[in-house]
Structure 1
Amino acid sequence: MPDTPLDLAHLRAFHAVVQAGGFSAAARRLHRTQSAVSHAVRKLETSAKVRLLDRRGREVRLTEAGRRLLSACDLAFATLDAAQEELGQERGRAEGRIRVGATVEFGCSVLMRHIQPFLAAHPGLEMDFHLGHDLLTPLLREEVDLAIDCHDHARADLERTPLFRESYMVACSPGYLASHAIREPEDLARCTVLSLDKAGAWWERFLARFPRTRRPAFGRVVAIDHIRALITAAASGMGVLLAPSYSLQEELARGELVPLFPSIRPHEDRFALYQKTARARLAKHRLLKAYLEALNPAELGA
């Protein structure tokens, strides 16, 4: 007796469960009930005659057979999406939706200021944005289609396109500078250092410029886990901060912050565009990739 063909709707349900991390999240994504999604996956396993998921309470894990099928689904659904795009292109324009992830400060200070020309040039495209610190998880779960990130994600299933360099600056308010007489990095021992983390790992970009035996010591470290709040705190005179240079342009222009140690250049980060390799051929992805590669944001000193 020939094998039963695998049902496309069942495959979509299986794919959604894996990408969303569970049946409840997959049901919300597919706008179906959890029981309907669970039933679809069971039917798929019956048709395939193999277990695809290990269910442990609310946690689901792929079996080896499930991993192989997931890879096939990624390719198949990307091919179907590309075919749908080609049909749209016959109408003379790119169409569809792109979900873009970006780091919070880059998204606020750079991306939102430069994305409108792309949207105006492609009125058939819709774009939604997710700003956050962890962009890899939503990218792998297909909650975003592309991610602009300064963290390195070396994975075989992701395509990486280098974009912009991100330089950093040490700064404080003019009043704080005057009251603490900051002239050399060693003076930071008398200062309150503002950092995204209590351990001061955020400052490693600056400290790495010094030999370990000569690294400046910090006085008090105040942790503030949001870059915009960090900048506001520094501008109000709470202490010294390290932040991406583009994030500080308005405060510098208004005289609320002044740069420190201009001869010392903290290590730079490099923004890159990440997307699943299987989906990199989509026309709308290629259009956005080309636009970002050609972009020279003044905020980044380009």
Structure 2
Amino acid sequence: MNIVTNNEKFIITFDLDNTIIDEKGKFFPNIKEVLSELKQSENIILYLITGRMFSSLKSLGIYNELVNIFGNNIFCNEGNTIINNEKVQVINKLNTNYLENFFKVHFEKFDWIIETSEKIIFNNHSKKEALLKLSYINTNFFEYSSDLNISLFNDKVDILNIFLFPKTQVNVDYMINLFYKVHYPEEKHTLYQEFIKISPKNTDKINGYHYILDKYNERHKVIAIGDGYNDISIIKKSFLGIAVYNSHKKLIEAADIHLQSNLYDFLRSLVNSLNLPSNEILIK
């Protein structure tokens, strides 16, 4: 497949985990080098859009290398935040109108972890450890508080996620009714084995996609590359959606191309094609 660019500009968005890094948080072989080469092209702008919290991203040993490659073009929290000079710029946050009343009524029923744009506040050390196992976050980001400061729930504090751990065993249907139907009808809820995660309404990587289009006034064509279910929306919307080899089945169905070899081979072919006299980008 050939794309004739005639000096068109392309934006390539990358998922992080299992797309450019492995389960140990290391770059797949040669990926860092080929991304660095792509970065040098005048016709290509690179973006990273990850589901990780900023604290989880920054806890990676390769964080500085990611910044060297992507600069300020890094979205975290499923597209709800963008990193700007080491600061978290919030695009989408929880509606705090619900939160204060909820905690006043149900405070004693749950242990909790609250992620803001600046820190992660928790009231139970064992629950912090549970989140650490899931998200691999440096402990420096955590702040212990035995009491919940209601002043958190105001428009000046950006709350990105809340993790609630029931202190007693509860019925799943009750949990869903309590959070989804009663207290948070407009927010997104994810039920895990140990806790329920409350995220902002419309949490989706597509937020990052729309942010990019707004910034560049749709002058650039977007190529999206990912592996997971949470990449589907941006893969569908992009000019070209690419699923890496070992991708989620649903993502493969949504993608225009399913790579049959590793991502490096594809990116190497792309880098090589940038120097063609015909100014074509070759996608095989």
TM-score after normalising by structure 2: 0.25
Q: Which one has the bigger helix percentage?
A: 1
TM-score after normalising by structure 1: 0.24
Larger radius of gyration, structure 1 or 2?
1
